[in-house]
Amino acid sequence: MTAMDVHLTHPIAPPLAPDILVALQAVAEPTRARIVALLGHGEHCVCDVGEMLGLSPALVSHHLRALRTSGLLRERRSGRWVYYSLELDRLASLRAAVADLPVAHLRRTDPRRIAARKNAARASVRLHLGAYAAMVAIVLTVWLAVALTAGAWYFWPIWPILGGAIGVVGHALPVRTCCR
């Protein structure tokens, strides 16, 4: 079977332009993402960014240079100070490019999310089984107390016990088939 024979269950996202990829790589670094978030509130100079984020001026300059070369920042000189702000048109084009990515499909097929859902389903079945066992114990205790005091030995608890069992089985079977 070749790669061309595989049927995809989701549409393929169009390839991203190289400038968009450069901008995504620049923002993917956590410190740069923090700088972009800070500059989202207005323009700042290198010393302000460093002070607010607890970074050295040299490190801030390094990250600002990477963001500037990716086209995400604009600079304004005022005397010997350089103020940085976000290039809003560039961010809008980046947002539009990212909006077309198949994020919902990636979330549904993420192995960690699938494992977490399976674990939650198994825990839910264990909880239901525990509640069912407690219900059976209570119903049988009540039946035995009534039978011993009133002498009526009709086994009426069969109905709530069967009803509870049907509920537990109805819950456990789908979990068992999907959580293998």
Q: Is residue 74 in a domain?
A: yes
Domain count, the chain: 2
Q: Report the percentage of the chain scoring pLDDT > 90.
A: 27
Q: Is residue 6 in a domain?
A: no
Examine the domain organization and report whether 86 and 113 are in the same domain.
Answer: no
Looking at residue 54, its pLDDT comes to 93
Of 53, 74, 101, the residue that ends a domain is 101
Looking at residue 14, its pLDDT comes to 63
The CATH number of the domain where 64 resides is what? Answer: 1.10.10.10
Q: Is residue 7 in a domain?
A: no
Examine the domain organization and report whether 85 and 20 are in the same domain.
Answer: yes
Examine the domain organization and report whether 112 and 173 are in the same domain.
Answer: yes
**Boundaries of domain holding 74:** 13-101
Q: Is residue 129 in a domain?
A: yes
- Of 34, 94, 98, the C-alpha closest to 64 is 34
Looking at residue 65, its pLDDT comes to 93
Examine the domain organization and report whether 23 and 67 are in the same domain.
Answer: yes
pLDDT tens figures, 131-158: 998 998 998 898 888 888 988 778 888 8
Once rounded to an integer, what is the mean pLDDT over residues 28-39? Answer: 92
Of 63, 78, 101, the residue that ends a domain is 101
pLDDT tens figures, 55-67: 998 999 999 999 9
Q: Is residue 39 in a domain?
A: yes
Once rounded to an integer, what is the mean pLDDT over residues 72-82? Answer: 90
**3 pLDDT exceeds 50?**
no
Helix (H) or strand (E) holding 102, with range, is none
Examine the domain organization and report whether 115 and 58 are in the same domain.
Answer: no
Once rounded to an integer, what is the mean pLDDT over residues 91-101? Answer: 83
* Alpha carbon distance 65, 70 (integer Å): 9
Q: Is residue 45 in a domain?
A: yes
**109 pLDDT exceeds 60?**
yes
Strands 73-78 and 44-45: unpaired
pTM over 0.85: no
Helix (H, G, I), strand (E, B) or coil at 162: helix
pLDDT tens figures, 114-134: 888 888 888 888 898 899 989
* Alpha carbon distance 27, 35 (integer Å): 9
Examine the domain organization and report whether 126 and 172 are in the same domain.
Answer: yes
pLDDT averaged over every residue in the chain:
84
Of 101, 116, 133, the residue that ends a domain is 101
* Neighbouring-strand partners of residue 73: 86
Q: Is residue 3 in a domain?
A: no
